[in-house]
Amino acid sequence: MIREIIITIMELVGTVSFAVSGSLVAIGCSFDVFGVVTVGCITAVGGGIIRDIIIGSTPPRIFSNLPVLLLAILTSFFVFTFAYIYREKFKKIRSRAEMINVLFDALGLASFSITGVECVLESSFGNNVLLAITLGVITGVGGGVIRDVLVNEKPYILVRHVYAVVSIVGCLLYYLIGSVLSYKVVATFFVLIFVVTMRLLAAKYRWKLPKITFDENGKPSK
């Protein structure tokens, strides 16, 4: 009973967090209210839709979970309304809004990575550890990838701040602690704190994986 309550809370936290994050990105790209709500909602539910399609849970469960979908819509609309009413102040605190975006994004990543793994564990594929971790990561980052495509940006997980790596480690830890050791409540809180902390530290100190860049002449730059 406690586990189900915690997972439900994680889903709600993830929905609100990613809806806020997606909405802030859309506002920064000067989208109108429909665009902001659309991007906010897709960021919140996109990863879960991809996960459900892969495990054959169709139609995706979000379409039978109207309260969660309405929560994403209302959250996105609220963010747009707040930014619109206080647009002059919002313009002046863009850098602070970026940090707020990072915080909500971290909460969404942690919450949905957990719920993604748990959804697979509850399905007929529960013994497939690779699938559980993979779909946990997809649930955590899938909505953000769709968001970045919609705003014409390179997917964040591929270029910045060890984003997907944190989700992978978090999903693995949740599987090991929650499924193998059967401490799912402990696993939930531990992974939530771990993923949020690592995501914020990665953003603050700009941790990145090695990559190859080229200068104007096409030569690799240092």
Looking at residue 208, what is its pLDDT? 83
DSSP state of 59: S
Q: Is 59 left (phi over 0), alpha (psi -120 to 50) or beta?
A: beta
Q: What are the residue ranges spanned by the domains of the chain?
A: 2-206
Q: What is the mean pLDDT of residues 182-202?
A: 92
CB 55 within 8 A of CB 122: no
Tell me the one-letter amino acid at 134.
Answer: T
Tell which residue, 155, 190, 149, has the closest CA to residue 38. 149
- For residue 29, the model assigns a pLDDT of 92
pLDDT tens-digit profile of 19-51?
999 999 999 899 999 999 999 999 999 999 999
Residue 1's pLDDT is what?
Answer: 63
Look up residue 114 and give its two tokens.
């957990």
Q: How confident is the model at residue 95 (pLDDT cuts 50, 70, 90)?
A: low
Q: Which residues contact 145 (CB under 8 A, 6 or more apart)?
A: 46, 155, 156, 157
Gap between the Cα atoms of 96 and 154, Å rounded: 22
| Confidence (pLDDT) at 72 | 97
3-state DSSP call for residue 217? coil
Taking only the tens place, the pLDDT of each residue in 97-144 is 778 888 999 999 999 999 999 999 988 888 899 999 999 999 999 999
- Give the pLDDT mean for 56-60: 92
| pLDDT single digits (tens) 150-188 | 999 988 888 777 888 999 999 999 999 988 888 888 999
Alpha-carbon distances, residue 211 vs 143, 165, 199 (angstroms):
24, 15, 19
Bigger pLDDT: 95 vs 13: 13
User: How would residue 212 be classed by pLDDT, with cut points 50, 70 and 90?
Assistant: confident
Mean pLDDT of 54-77: 94
Calculate the average pLDDT of the chain. Answer: 89
